[in-house]
Amino acid sequence: AFAPIEEQIAHSDSLARLAQVWDKLDERSRYLLEARYILEKTDADIATDLGIQAKSVRMALTRARKVARGLMKE
């Protein structure tokens, strides 16, 4: 099933805005977002890469998304 065209447009706009601020993100935030949403890595894989516990990955991703959203609103 396809999302309504309005949702597709909003998603495309969000991706474009994220691309504009990508270089402003700190290295860790970029890694977290790329690992999860582009590379589709598991929490365990991300945790190993960062040297943190798997249960900490979710909170780290929440922070990374918050930083990205903040930059996108500027």
Q: Tens of pLDDT along 3-42? A: 788 888 887 888 888 999 999 999 999 999 999 989 999 9
Q: Is the pLDDT of residue 74 over 90?
A: no
What is the reported pLDDT for 53?
97
Q: Let me know: does 11 contact 3? Beta carbons within 8 Å.
A: yes
Exposure class string for 39-62: b at 16+ Cβ within 10 A, else e: eebebeebbeeeeeeeeebeebbe
pLDDT at 14: 84
Q: What's the pTM?
A: 0.81
| Per-residue pLDDT, 2 | 67
